[in-house]
């Protein structure tokens, strides 16, 4: 009899309309302060997940684990907690739960004992064949303790018949598909894995004699580690006897990193392809200005996501850049259990119009992306209510028309505004005087690529094109897409 997976009911959260990258991973080898360094690294990666965090360490004999709800700084800031995590090797994980159970059992890193010894796994991304694999494993007698597809990876490693742990890992990753970055810890060996297309990011650093793996370079900076290189697409890198070793088990494929790492997910100071995310975003704004020359009094960003693009736009056209919206940085995702009346305040919990700056002004409002449009509608109305003469909205990426299956919390296609409305209809919906998106060609120009050359696509840009580098095996129509999205986003956090 075929078993089915029950999707837990969604718990209440303050709505966040942005795309959400689900988690950050970190690992360090051969360092007596491994737990403290991992806590610092996770703190630098806090933007990738705020609902839970965990650290697993190994002292040469035993593994130790601490998992907590909430922010890294609220949980791993005491000497007592860090002293409970002895050992020279550690891995850590930040969780961004989007649906599903918000329980400790879903917080990573996961740990399991196998016939080759213990192994801890921290995972960023989604598997596009997770339901298929999970059902097969359950039918073979596997018992799952979480709703996470990361546990599927652990089960595959445990069931492998290979002798060496590194071979078990390779055996497992040959069976999984999707976009993923893995950091694993097993008996004085730190392992990093990146999916064959390099969709999800993973970098290598070094501090003295210790190697470090992290989702972004900003996590290296905070501990004073030197950036060495990115883990290549389809590469398995492991630190054994304090030496960095590499295996490339997959056939060679073109690297295709997720375009939204450049547009939104990565912290502005993190390096992507040799340049900071800030520089890339500023260049998106410049290309947007080239495509949309317009007369206005001021350029206003939607903070903080639109800041760099708005600055590039303003500088290119010689228009004043102003902070016409002020952000309250102290509103968390859970904030309070508000009444409907309080919830109806919506975006005002986080943003407020700077009236003296925008009154009687023709405004160009810049944001990095537009998903459902509900927040854009509220922001435009807020600016008009504060006395703006005209509001022209410019978006520093193309229209998002397709959902994601590789570790990004996107709505189903029917919820994506640009998938269901024309540009004029979207403009009318958000209440703007005009609306323009950066073209896909503009995105590629900004990054030094040519969309029309023979190497296209250089990025995973399915959000705009519908061209998926890895097809979801679990996809069986719209209802199955929804289930896949729910299971995946409930898990890899």
Q: Tokens 């375009």 identify what position?
A: 259
Task: Please give the chain's pLDDT, 493 residues, in tens.
Answer: 443 334 333 333 333 445 555 689 999 999 999 999 999 999 999 999 988 999 999 999 999 999 999 999 999 988 999 999 999 999 999 987 544 456 788 899 999 888 878 999 999 998 989 889 999 999 988 888 887 888 999 999 999 999 899 999 999 999 999 999 999 999 889 999 999 999 999 999 999 999 999 999 999 999 999 999 999 999 999 999 999 999 999 999 999 999 999 999 999 999 999 999 999 999 999 999 999 988 999 999 999 999 999 999 999 999 999 999 999 887 654 444 445 555 556 677 789 999 999 999 999 999 999 998 888 999 999 999 999 999 999 999 999 999 988 877 666 788 899 999 999 999 999 999 999 999 999 999 999 887 777 677 789 999 999 999 988 776 544 444 333 333 333 333 3
Domain 20-256 fold is: 3.60.20
52 — phi, psi (to 5°)? -165, 155
Residue 479 annotated in ligand binding = no
Q: What is the DSSP track for 65-128?
A: EEEEES-HHHHS-SHHHHHTS-SSEEEEEEE---SS---GGGSSPEEEEETTEEEEEEEEEEET
Q: Is the backbone peptide bond immediately before 457 cis, with ω within 30 degrees of 0?
A: yes
Q: Does domain 278-454 have CATH number 3.40.50.2300?
A: no
Domain ranges for the chain = 20-256, 278-454
Residue 113 annotated in ligand binding = no
On the 0-12 / 13-18 / 19+ scale of CB atoms within 10 A, 430 is: buried
DSSP state of 387: T
Contacts by residues 246-249 (CB-CB < 8 Å, ≥ 24 positions apart): 247/166, 247/170, 249/170, 249/173, 249/174
Please give the positions annotated as active site: 23
- Taking residue 390's Cβ as centre, other Cβ atoms within 10 Å add up to 15
Residues in the chain: 493
Task: List, in sequence order, every beta strand (DSSP E) within 383-481.
Answer: 390-395, 408-409, 434-437
Residue 171 annotated in ligand binding = no
């Amino acid at each position: 009899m075929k078993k089915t997976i029950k999707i837990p009911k969604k718990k209440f959260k303050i709505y966040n309309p942005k795309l959400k990258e689900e988690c950050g991973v970190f690992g360090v080898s051969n360092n007596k302060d491994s737990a403290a360094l991992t806590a610092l690294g996770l703190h630098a990666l806090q933007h990738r997940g705020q609902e839970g965090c965990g650290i697993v360490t190994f002292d040469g004999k035993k593994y130790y684990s601490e998992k907590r709800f909430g922010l890294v700084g609220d949980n791993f800031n005491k000497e007592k907690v860090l002293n409970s995590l002895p050992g020279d090797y550690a891995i850590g994980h930040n969780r961004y739960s989007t649906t599903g159970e918000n329980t400790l059992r879903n917080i990573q890193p996961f740990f399991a004992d196998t016939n080759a010894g213990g192994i801890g796994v921290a995972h960023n991304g989604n598997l596009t064949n997770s339901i298929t694999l999970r059902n097969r494993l359950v039918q073979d007698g596997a018992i799952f303790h979480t709703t996470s597809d990361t546990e599927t990876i652990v089960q595959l490693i445990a069931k492998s018949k290979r002798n060496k742990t590194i071979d078990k890992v390779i055996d497992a990753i040959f069976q999984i598909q999707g976009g993923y970055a893995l950091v694993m810890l097993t008996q004085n060996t730190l392992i990093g894995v990146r999916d064959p297309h390099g969709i999800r990011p993973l970098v290598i650093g070094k501090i003295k004699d210790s190697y470090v793996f992290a989702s972004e370079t900003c996590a290296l900076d905070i501990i004073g580690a030197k950036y060495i290189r990115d883990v290549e697409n389809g590469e398995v890198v492991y630190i054994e006897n304090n030496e960095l070793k590499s295996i490339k088990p997959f056939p060679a494929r073109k690297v295709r990193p997720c375009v939204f790492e450049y547009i939104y997910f990565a912290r502005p100071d993190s390096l992507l392809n040799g340049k900071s995310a800030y520089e890339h975003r500023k260049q998106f704004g410049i290309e947007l200005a080239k495509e949309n020359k317009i007369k206005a009094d001021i350029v206003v960003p939607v903070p903080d996501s639109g800041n760099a693009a708005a600055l590039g736009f303003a500088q290119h056209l010689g228009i004043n850049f102003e902070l016409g919206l002020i952000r309250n940085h102290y509103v968390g995702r859970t904030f309070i259990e508000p009444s409907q009346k309080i919830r109806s305040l919506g975006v005002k919990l986080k943003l407020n119009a700077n009236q003296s700056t925008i009154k009687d002004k023709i405004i160009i409002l810049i944001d990095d992306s537009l998903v459902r449009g509900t927040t854009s509608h509220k922001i435009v109305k807020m600016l008009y209510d504060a006395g703006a003469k005209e509001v022209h909205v410019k978006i520093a990426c193309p229209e998002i028309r397709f959902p994601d299956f590789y570790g990004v919390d996107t709505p189903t296609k029917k919820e994506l505004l640009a998938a269901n409305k024309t540009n004029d209809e979207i403009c009318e919906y958000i209440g703007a005087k005009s609306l323009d998106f950066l073209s896909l060609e503009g995105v590629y120009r900004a990054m030094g690529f040519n969309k029309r050359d023979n190497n296209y696509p250089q990025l995973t840009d399915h959000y705009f094109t519908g061209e998926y580098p890895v097809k979801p095996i679990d996809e069986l129509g719209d209802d199955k897409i929804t289930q896949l999205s729910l299971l995946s986003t409930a898990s890899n956090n």
